[in-house]
Structure 1
Amino acid sequence: MNGIVEALEQVRSSLLDVMGFDDPAGWSDQELLAATAAIEAVGRVIDARRVACAGEVGERSRVDLGGERLSTRRGCRSAAELLERVTQVSGAEARRRIALGAATRSRRGLTGDPLEARYPEVGSALAEGELGADAACTIVRELDGTRRVADPVDLRSAEHELVAAALATGDDAPVRCSADELRVQAQAWAAFLDQDGPEPDDERAMRRRGFRFGRARDGLVPVGGELLPEVAAGLRRLFDAHLAPRSGGGFMTAEERADIERNGEQRTADQQRHDVVAAIIATAARSGEHPTIGGAAPTVLVSVRAADLAAGRGVAHAEGVEIPVSMRAARQLICTGGTQQVTFDGVGRVVGLGSPERCFTPHQRRAITLRDGGCLIPGCSVPAAWCEIHHVVPDVDGGPTHTDNGVLLCWFHHRTIETSGWGIRMVGGVPQVRPPAWLDRGGGWRQVTKSPTRLADRVERRSAAVA
């Protein structure tokens, strides 16, 4: 044992030497991202050993051991408290490590025979440093609630598919899933494994539901209560519609903003608020519930010369603002709102007026929404109602205004699709996404969707294939 401790101390000393680098502010973008990924890979190896040791601390502190519990012999009330004192981590982190360690460690039966871990694939990927502790916790937490009713074969299939999604070894994973993206897929699997749902929790929730008005004070009336999940979802939807999309950030909680930051959000809070306003304006204009102007929905008119548009240079001009807008902005507006060609003669007289075109109909939008489920870019959580429809093949290249050529993108990803490195193509009317090289240098094209129905179908197909 002393040898292990001494070896780890040497590793720690070596790491301090290796990581005694200068301020990353002086690195290039490629150097910064490469170093970040490498450091995270080392961290995953450390996390795996942290979890393994925490699991063993929990095992040696089992309640049935009584006074012989390791935690008791060290003067602590629980394994979590003991781990807190040894590692100086928070109580929540200590409990998380112990729970994950218990789920991924080998066990002993009543006769003393060795038993497989509850989640062997998670444990193996974790031990090899391929799977992060947060992603592993997500898989275990979501699937554990179904263990009492799930078929063991289906449960093992779910674990396998989720680990594959986290490591990008599955057929449908364009990039490694983050823990939050993995949670969505794990919840789809949990719904498949336990199709009756948590009935006792539902009954208890029905008894506790309520909404109350408090006593007025300082000119305000406080409210409180507990909402059923489906009612809360509807209320959140209304907030989304009137305040901000989930990834806008302008009106999000601190927890939601931190969640987006973990997923790689690069916009500042001010930029996110701007994008919220842009989404609100676009959504309200096409809702059909606002007064019309000249018999049409409120629409911004943007003028651009056909020659400039074809050449991709010059500027465009939006009605109501004095400064010009960029050609990239003009192309986005054309992609979203359609075009109408107006022809002038040499002195400025209108001599030709084309029909409005290239605008997706409400029926097409509903169909694309059901297919895509939200912004198509992995990791983006902007809901479908806040998205714009992007023509995958531009009109100038012969792209039709058809469901087979339209995908949902949020305002930000639509505006930056030409420069961000993300690739989108349609194969048989189904969208495929390719990540930028900086995110996944060897990444290929993969089908992607955020539609809950299509995700559920995918789960059932995989389960049937495994069976």
Structure 2
Amino acid sequence: MIETRLLSTDELLRSLVDEVTEIRVRENAALQMIAELDRRGAASELGYRNLPQVLRHVVRWDLHVATRWIDTAALLTSEITPTGSELAPVLPLTAQAVAEGALSVEHIAAVAAVMKTVPAEHEATVVGYARTFEPRTVRTLGGKLAYSLYQDDPEPREPDPTPPPANEHSMQWKNGRLEIRAKLDKVTGAKYEALLDPLAKPRPDTGEGPDPRTRSRREGDALAELIELMLRADQLPEHGGEPVTMTVTLRYEDLVKQVGEAMLDTGEHLPADQVRRVACDAGIIPAVLGGEGQPLDIGRKTRSFPARIRRALVLRDRGCAFPGCDRPPRHCDGHHVRHWADGGDTSVDNAVLLCRAHHTLIHQSKWEVRMINGIPTFYPPAWLDPQQRPRRNLINTA
């Protein structure tokens, strides 16, 4: 038994990782036992209707939990045919990672869900996601992988295609208050979010404590303020020091030919023909991108990030650059990779977009960020990865 009080924090975290790895190895042993019970028809032998009912009594699992473990076991164990031949598991690479203690039952479910949408030869890629990220991010990256594989496929044609959903808005007065409901298309919804979000930020602490308002209250107050701003007509909220801006990234050739899809800074995809429509009544800000999609340096040496630099960071990072984070640009701050006080300049090559949580983490922890070939690259603490292998945010890549 380890005397935890005698360990340093890094040693304690490393011990926790080792302990969880061992737990996952034991979970794999349990999955193998469950698969064998299922294979030999233990439920019928014991007089039960099915195996979940057996596990309900043996290990006191709820039926849905027992069913999940049985389904998971079936993905990871080999099958024996009536002739005695052994068939490989449905997810052989996943089974190998589970045996090493690298994946949890929740990870296996995420990998299995992704593998239903991509060809089997991509299992190594998906397992790689699971070895690095939590199950939620595995599903997100799996969705991006599936999209990248099939984005060039022709869209299915229906005999009578239905028109895109129209914007809807309803208002009704109740007890002296106006209740508003709306359903907006992607473009309009992105514009609405961009207008409302800067006004809905928590108020700064003035010494009386943090802003006590709930998110819904802050957004309600923001909508009221937006109405007042629109009535004054010449005043609009700002994002990062510039008037409200919606960023759309698209290859110029695709814009001209009206093919392919663009990406909003929310991560949503937008057909090129809709981008052309938006461009009809919007200012176009050209940006020259490098070979890996990094904007050219347009900065100057100031402490705060000018609007031009923030715009370039949005083009490059598309949101928080921390590995696995999906926060959009409007929730992010500019961070000096080399601190401004230490002589770091305010330029694209010395900046990265980070959400508030990861901005704080970078300043207060042993995580490091460096610019490698113009791209933000993160290095985890030794307790998380003794080899401190570099990581990037795969969610926000094109």
Q: Calculate the TM-score normalised by the size of structure 1.
A: 0.53
- Structural RMSD (CA): 5.3
- Deviation of 1:240 after TM superposition, in Å, equals 9.0
Code of the residue aligned with 1:34 in structure 2: it is R
Q: Give the Cα–Cα distance (whole angstroms) in 2 for the partners of residues 272 and 59 of structure 1.
A: 58
Name the SS of the counterpart of 1:393 in structure 2: coil
| Residue 373 (1) aligns with residue 318 (2) | yes
CA shift in 2, pair 1:415/1:130, >3 Å: closer
1:24-173 paired onto structure 2 within 5 Å: 28-60=8-40, 69-108=41-80, 112-146=84-118, 150=119, 155-156=120-121, 158-167=122-131
Per-residue Cα deviation, 1:334-358 (whole angstroms, up to 9, x for no partner):
xxxxxxxxxxxxxxxxxxxxx9944
- Deviation of 1:223 after TM superposition, in Å, equals 10
Name the SS of the counterpart of 1:131 in structure 2: coil
Q: Structure 1: which 5+ runs fail to align?
A: 1-17, 61-68, 168-175, 249-269, 301-354, 454-467
Native 8 Å contact 2:323 2:392 kept in 1: no
CA shift in 2, pair 1:416/1:45, >3 Å: closer
Q: Give the Cα–Cα distance (whole angstroms) in 2 for the partners of residues 411 and 75 of structure 1.
A: 57
Identity of matched residues, %: 26
Per-residue Cα deviation, 1:106-162 (whole angstroms, up to 9, x for no partner):
12457653222111011111123232222222111211244xxx3xxxx22x21122
CA shift in 2, pair 1:74/1:440, >3 Å: same
Native 8 Å contact 1:211 1:223 kept in 2: no
Q: Give the Cα–Cα distance (whole angstroms) in 1 for the partners of residues 381 and 184 of structure 2.
A: 41
1:430-445 paired onto structure 2 within 5 Å: 430-445=375-390
Name the SS of the counterpart of 1:399 in structure 2: coil
Larger relative helix fraction: 1
| Residue 414 (1) aligns with residue 394 (2) | no
Name the SS of the counterpart of 1:389 in structure 2: strand
| Residue 403 (1) aligns with residue 348 (2) | yes
Code of the residue aligned with 2:134 in structure 1: it is S
Code of the residue aligned with 2:395 in structure 1: it is K
Per-residue Cα deviation, 1:57-96 (whole angstroms, up to 9, x for no partner):
4444xxxxxxxx5434444443333322222122232222
- Deviation of 1:191 after TM superposition, in Å, equals 2.7
Q: Give the Cα–Cα distance (whole angstroms) in 2 for the partners of residues 36 and 239 of structure 1.
A: 44
Code of the residue aligned with 1:123 in structure 2: it is A
CA shift in 2, pair 1:45/1:274, >3 Å: farther
Name the SS of the counterpart of 2:363 in structure 1: coil
CA shift in 2, pair 1:388/1:224, >3 Å: closer
Q: Structure 2: which 5+ runs fail to align?
A: 203-208, 242-299
Partner of 1:360: 305
Q: Give the Cα–Cα distance (whole angstroms) in 1 for the partners of residues 50 and 198 of structure 2.
A: 47
1:384-399 paired onto structure 2 within 5 Å: 384-399=329-344
Q: Give the Cα–Cα distance (whole angstroms) in 1 for the partners of residues 185 and 42 of structure 2.
A: 41
Partner of 1:185: 141
